[in-house]
Amino acid sequence: MNTSFLLLTGRRSALRQAGPRYRSYASSSASSKPSPAAKNRWIGIALVTIAAGGTGAYLRSQGPGSATLNPDTFTKYNLVSREPVSSTSSLFTLRPRYPSEHNYDVYEDAWKTGVWSVMFKQPQLQIGRDYTPLPTTAATPLTVDEENNGYLRFFIRKDPFGEVSRYLHSLKLGADIEMRGPQIECAIPKQTQEILFIAGGTGIAPALQAGYSLLNRTTEENRPRIHIFWANRLKEDCIGGHSDTPILPTSRSSWFAGWFGSSKETVPRDQIAPAQPLSNQESSMIVRELDGLKSQYPGQVTVDYYLDEENRFIGKKEILNYIESTPRPSDGSPGTKLILVSGPEGFISYMVGPKVWADGKELQGPLRGIIKELDLKGWAVWKL
């Protein structure tokens, strides 16, 4: 049994409590099959909470508004700016509509805990969707005053048929946006030393959060690390991105092809090509943020970029190559290594198997996908 089941504790069924809401923790073992006892515990953990107001939830009537972000009522923010990042995504900057000296502390608690989100309301349809605030890095253009005043930034993809993302992209500057939260998506355990974050598209936002949260714990004695695999369909999404690992010209099928069952074609290791910048053009906003994090924590952050457009996909070989490059976990320190996966549903399914719905709750579901096939030892896995 892998003790990763036990790693991720300390959550609260916070829909009923003040403070951040926590999603249920159903970390899956990346190694052997759980014993019946472990299985029971897994089910127990899995049945803890998950946000009842998750994606697509119909929003019941709310109490009076608050000036401070909170999980129970919607708080008004103003759209300060919306800058295109690529042809399909934008960076949104929002500031609280009414001043509150508490926002900073609310965010700070969430940043310290791990990966978190807020729910935006679409008022005409009375539906909500979750979005992930971006952390502040050395590359973030916010001023200290703006940060202290509770500004938040979001990287949001416009789904051409999506209700809320289209609505957000149609708003005029200065418009109100209502949100509630924070909702903790993944509490990063204190003992975590190594995160492998596998991100698809806007799944990079929680990767930046995980990096920020983990690396903020850096001291002279404690130097945790994060490695990010970031897959995009188009080059324009990650212009200027420069992979830290020499490129393995391996997995020739995309996650969506794999999802439908096609097999992978691999190329021998001796055909490894040197790392290449994706483009000479100016770096995209997210690439600058990733570079900002790297410059703040030299040697503790590495990023590899994968592009469908260039037939480069994250596959078993890439993951194994990274895993083998990390120190082996010592028996006495379970839970120091964490794999987080975030992105479109099909991407998550392909990597670690789908999340599942039961009794109106979204649960982690069993570990499947290529990570299960790799049968990694000593890594806890979490689907975002």
Ligand X SMILES: Cc1cc2nc3c(=O)[nH]c(=O)nc-3n(C[C@H](O)[C@H](O)[C@H](O)COP(=O)(O)OP(=O)(O)OC[C@H]3O[C@@H](n4cnc5c(N)ncnc54)[C@H](O)[C@@H]3O)c2cc1C
Question: Closest distance between ligand X and the C-beta of residue 130, in Å?
Answer: 4
Interface with ligand X (CB under 6 A), residue from 156, 187, 188, 381 = 156
Question: Closest distance between ligand X and the C-beta of residue 68, in Å?
Answer: 21
**Whose Cβ is closer to ligand X: residue 228's or residue 248's?**
228
Of the listed pieces 40-48, 123-131, 234-242, 372-380, which binds ligand X according to CB under 6 A?
A: 123-131
- The tokens describing 230, both together, are 């970031």
- CA angle, 193 then 199 then 202, to 5°: 125
Interface with ligand X (CB under 6 A), residue from 130, 178, 237, 304 = 130
Question: Closest distance between ligand X and the C-beta of residue 10, in Å?
Answer: 19
**Whose Cβ is closer to ligand X: residue 109's or residue 163's?**
163
Q: Compute the distance between CA of residue 264 and CA of residue 314 in angstroms, rounded to an integer.
A: 11
Query: Which residues in 36-65 contact ligand X (CB under 6 A)?
Result: 55
Q: Compute the distance between CA of residue 170 and CA of residue 124 in angstroms, rounded to an integer.
A: 13
Question: Closest distance between ligand X and the C-beta of residue 275, in Å?
Answer: 27
Is residue 322 part of the contact set for ligand X (CB under 6 A)?
no
Is residue 155 part of the contact set for ligand X (CB under 6 A)?
yes
Question: Closest distance between ligand X and the C-beta of residue 244, in Å?
Answer: 24
Is residue 117 part of the contact set for ligand X (CB under 6 A)?
yes
**Whose Cβ is closer to ligand X: residue 179's or residue 303's?**
179
Residues in contact with ligand X, shown as a per-residue x/- string from 165 to 204 under the rule CB under 6 A: xx------------------x----------------x--
**Whose Cβ is closer to ligand X: residue 14's or residue 247's?**
14
**Whose Cβ is closer to ligand X: residue 58's or residue 161's?**
161
- Any binding-site annotation on 212? no
Of the listed pieces 3-11, 144-152, 157-165, 308-316, which binds ligand X according to CB under 6 A?
A: 157-165
Position of minimal CB gap to ligand X: 162
The dihedral through the CA atoms of 321, 325, 326, 331 has a sign that is positive
Question: Closest distance between ligand X and the C-beta of residue 321, in Å?
Answer: 28
Interface with ligand X (CB under 6 A), residue from 30, 195, 205, 380 = 205
- The tokens describing 309, both together, are 């457009």
Interface with ligand X (CB under 6 A), residue from 50, 94, 164, 231 = 164
Interface with ligand X (CB under 6 A), residue from 102, 157, 252, 316 = 157
- Any binding-site annotation on 164? yes
Is residue 154 part of the contact set for ligand X (CB under 6 A)?
yes
Q: What is the 3-state secondary structure (H, E, C) of the chain?
A: CCCHHHHCCCCCCHHHCCCCEECCCCCEECCCCCCHHHHHHHHHHHCCCCCCCCCCCECCCCCCCCCCCCCCCCEEEEEEEEEEEECCEEEEEEEECCCCCCHHHHHHHHHHHEEEEEEEEECCCCEEEEECECCCCCCCCCCHHHHHCCCEEEEEECCCCCHHHHHHHHCCCCCEEEEEEEEEEEECCCCCCEEEEEEEHHHHHHHHHHHHHHHCCCCCCCCCEEEEEEEECCHHHHCCCECCCCECCCCCCCHHHHHCCCCCCCCCHHHCECCCECCCCCCCHHHHHHHHHHHHCCCCEEEEEEEHHHCCCCCHHHHHHHHHHCCCCCCCCCCCEEEEEECCHHHHHHHHCCCEEECCEEECCCCCHHHHHHCCCCCEEEEC
Sequence-separated (6 or more) residues with CB below 8 Å from residue 83: 90, 91, 93, 285
Is residue 313 part of the contact set for ligand X (CB under 6 A)?
no
Indicate the annotated binding residues.
Answer: 129, 131, 164-165
Binding site residues, ligand X, CB under 6 A: 55, 117, 129-132, 154-157, 159, 161-166, 185, 202, 205
Indicate the annotated binding residues for FAD.
Answer: 129, 131, 164-165
